[in-house]
Structure 1
Amino acid sequence: MRARELPASTLEFPFGPDVDVYKVRGKVFMIHTVVDDEPLVVIKASPSDGLALRDAHADITPGYHMDKRHWISLHPGGSLGPDVVEELVTESYRLVVAGLPSAQRPVEPHAFGRGQR
């Protein structure tokens, strides 16, 4: 899973063993769980990107149990291939890293992951 590969990423279980919470420097960038027997990935997105992604993909919805303006839910499978999910997870990570103080950033958010892979 892409979230495990990201620099300084940690996995925590604050909501129990069935909810994977990925953080960078203590800030959440992804939640992975199962809802109604369906895998669900909740990630951070800029408000404008979140709206555009929801309009473009039926399998992207407002963030499950999160601020609907800044978080989106991905329903992997369907129309969302693994490459799309991985890129959106990486973008969520970049957004969270960009909000950290410069001294705490494990990577340069504007350059990390772009053109790589």
Structure 2
Amino acid sequence: MELKQIAAYLLNKKGTTEETPFGPEALVYKVMGKMFALVAWEADPLTLTLKCEPGQALLLRDIYPAVLPGYHMNKTHWNTITLEGTIPAAELWGMIDDSYELVVQSLTRAQRATLLS
């Protein structure tokens, strides 16, 4: 999977912005100012860090060797995925969708209303 595909999918999520608060080597994707994805685009292979429900995070780590506890993140709530082609694209898109939805659900009612308007 290439950076262009990942970035396009992430940026297609409503209200998503791309920032580089940790330096140019890490692209951070936020919705309403809250991070839901981080792409280490200079890593070889590319890595993607996503928010995840704790139980689901453990399950994904058991199923896919390319899914690891979140690098430099709260390891209970974040997974880092090494994009080496071992995870089906549909599964990866689902992980991104879940991460985005988790963050949207954590927004205040006013923030969600702004996002949906």
Report the TM-score, using the length of structure 2 for normalisation.
0.85
Following the alignment from structure 2 to structure 1, what is the Cα–Cα distance between the partners of residues 104 and 96? 12
Following the alignment from structure 2 to structure 1, what is the Cα–Cα distance between the partners of residues 90 and 61? 17
Following the alignment from structure 2 to structure 1, what is the Cα–Cα distance between the partners of residues 43 and 87? 18
After superposition, residues 38-49 of structure 1 pair within 5 angstroms as 38-49=45-56
**1:66 pairs with 2:73:** yes
Partner of 1:57: 64
**1:101 pairs with 2:113:** no
Following the alignment from structure 1 to structure 2, what is the Cα–Cα distance between the partners of residues 23 and 31? 9
After TM superposition, which residue ranges in structure 1, 4 or more long, deviate above 6 angstroms? none
Task: Supply the AA of the counterpart residue of 1:63.
Answer: G
Structure 1 contact 2–90 (Cα < 8 Å) conserved: no
Tell me the matched-pair count. Answer: 107
Partner of 1:112: none
Following the alignment from structure 2 to structure 1, what is the Cα–Cα distance between the partners of residues 32 and 66? 29
Once the two structures are superposed, residues 8-61 of structure 1 have per-residue CA deviations (whole angstroms, 9 ceiling, x without a partner) of 000001111111000001100000014652200000001000011101111111
Structure 1 contact 32–40 (Cα < 8 Å) conserved: yes
Task: Supply the AA of the counterpart residue of 2:27.
Answer: D
Change (3 A) 1:19 1:101: same
Q: CA deviation at 1:90?
A: 1.0
Q: CA deviation at 1:81?
A: 2.3
After superposition, residues 1-117 of structure 1 pair within 5 angstroms as 1-34=8-41, 36-105=43-112, 106-107=115-116
Structure 1 contact 22–30 (Cα < 8 Å) conserved: yes
Q: Which runs of 5+ in 1 are unaligned?
A: 108-117
Task: Supply the AA of the counterpart residue of 1:54.
Answer: R
Q: Percent identity of the aligned residues?
A: 36
Change (3 A) 1:84 1:34: same
